[in-house]
Amino acid sequence: MTLSAPRAHGLDTLRSLAILSVMLFHVNDFHGEGTLPAFLIPVAQLGWMGVDLFFVLSGYLIAAQFLHPYRAAVRPRLWPFYRNRLFRILPAYFAVLALYLAVPVWREDAGLPPLWQMVTFTQNLFVNYASDRAFSHVWSLCVEEHFYLLFPLLVYALMRRPSLRKTLVLLAGLVLFGICFRAFVLVHTLRPLAASGHRIGLVHIERIFYPTYSRLDGLLAGVTLALIKTFRPEWWRAMTRRGHRLLCLGLCLVALAIYVFKDRWDSVTGVSAVGVVIGFPVLALGLGLLVASAVSTNGWLRLKIPGAELIATLAYSIYLTHKELIHLVDLRFPALAHGSMFQWLALYALTSFVVAMALHLAAERPFLILRDKPFMAG
């Protein structure tokens, strides 16, 4: 049976901020700045970073869960780990995918990636963003699925002869690979395109922003936290006694990432080029420090925020359905899309949470209960 850890209110807060920022980002992407109040526009423009926060959270939580048995010198078992991930991810995902296939009006865009990409979680590796934009936000789920598949196998390989040096070399090597890959794409693809007068936004999405091998930094930051917590508990205790410092330093690094990512879709020189190459590691490090602050003993982020637990619980269902509901609210209430932004946002928020709650209760929760039944252990 799966044992429940005490609720970490700080992680609920971060997960809530992540999903709300992603929602605002896609509203801004669909409608432009006219739909949102002025004070929300900067948040919406940076809302794509919510996905990177999800990566750090997933890396930390999943790695900590898998590595925990090693604290008692017990080797974790693969089947329970994979079973838990399958029961957690697939039911809601396939329910939403069925809607995309069976109910065309559900789609926020006409172009849907090939079914084989969707069922094998490879859409982010073969994406054609110019024509296949429906359900495009599933790219991040593909990244996480690849992580779920490979992380336990890497742990098994490393723990045959555990070594801090080997672990550090692997983590640093993966970060360096991402930096070198993005630099290669910058020099050999993006800059020639920009020099010939072509827009680089779509190529940037397809070659850098979506592929797993370019987006490992957030997951690696979370995994690093889990490794420290599991194998260096004295380091972990020292770190988590400094929640306020972690928060301040994390916010400074996120601010630096925001700076280097400016004009990221339109420019490949100067600061923007730096952002292409090292922006993701800087952002991941900053968000990793925020996660550490959220589980610290004295950080402000650890405080319980009303409503955050509910939003965090529904975050996965919201993520799967929120883009489609922008389209459906526009379709059913066209006057609101060009009228009162507050009424449109209120209706969108309401429908998003209602649909997410329905998906959670119909698909997520029953399979989570089934997952935890004693007869499922094996």
Residue type at 334?
P
The length of the chain, given as a count of residues: 378
Q: What is the pLDDT of residues 10-31, one digit of tens each?
A: 999 999 999 999 999 999 988 8
Alpha-carbon distance 120 to 83, whole Å?
A: 17
Checking if the pLDDT of 2 tops 50, the result is no
Per-residue pLDDT, 194: 93
Per-residue pLDDT, 36: 82
Average pLDDT, the chain: 93
Checking if the pLDDT of 8 tops 90, the result is no
For residue 376, what pLDDT band results from cuts at 50, 70 and 90?
A: low
Alpha-carbon distance 24 to 341, whole Å?
A: 13
Q: Is 113 exposed, middle or buried (0-12, 13-18, 19+ CB in 10 A)?
A: buried
For residue 1, what pLDDT band results from cuts at 50, 70 and 90?
A: very low
Contact 144, 119 (CB under 8 A): no
Query: Count of CB atoms within 10 A of residue 257's CB?
Result: 23
Query: What average pLDDT score do residues 246-269 get?
Result: 93
Q: What is the pLDDT of residues 272-316, one digit of tens each?
A: 999 999 999 999 999 999 999 999 999 899 889 999 999 999 999
| Residue-wise DSSP of 268-295 | -SHHHHHHHHHHHHHHHHHHHHHHHHHT
Distances (CA, A) of 252 to 60, 147, 272, 364: 21, 28, 18, 37
Checking if the pLDDT of 118 tops 90, the result is yes
Task: List CB contacts of 205: < 8 A, sequence separation 6 or more.
Answer: 127, 129
SS (H, E, C) 136-203: HHHHHHHHHHHHHHHHHHHHHHHHCCCCHHHHHHHHHHHHHHHHHHHHHHHHHHHHHHHHCCCCCHHH
Between 327 and 375, the higher pLDDT residue: 327
| Predicted TM-score (pTM) of this structure | 0.95
Encode burial over 6-16: b for 16+ CB neighbours within 10 A, e otherwise: eebbbbbbbbb
The domains of the chain are located at: 9-324+350-372
Alpha-carbon distance 320 to 146, whole Å?
A: 18
Long-range contact list for 79-86, CB < 8 A, 24+ apart? 79/378, 80/2, 80/377, 80/378, 81/152, 82/148, 82/152, 83/371, 83/376, 84/2, 84/371, 85/148
Alpha-carbon distance 325 to 337, whole Å?
A: 13
Per-residue pLDDT, 35: 73
Query: What average pLDDT score do residues 176-198 get?
Result: 95
Per-residue pLDDT, 3: 44
Q: What is the pLDDT of residues 48-106, one digit of tens each?
A: 999 999 999 999 999 999 999 999 999 999 999 999 999 999 999 999 999 999 999 99
Give me 300's structure tokens.
């402000």
For residue 7, what pLDDT band results from cuts at 50, 70 and 90?
A: confident
Backbone angles phi, psi at 216, to 5 degrees: -85, -10
Alpha-carbon distance 9 to 306, whole Å?
A: 10
Checking if the pLDDT of 378 tops 90, the result is no
Alpha-carbon distance 250 to 256, whole Å?
A: 10
Checking if the pLDDT of 37 tops 50, the result is yes
Per-residue pLDDT, 5: 54
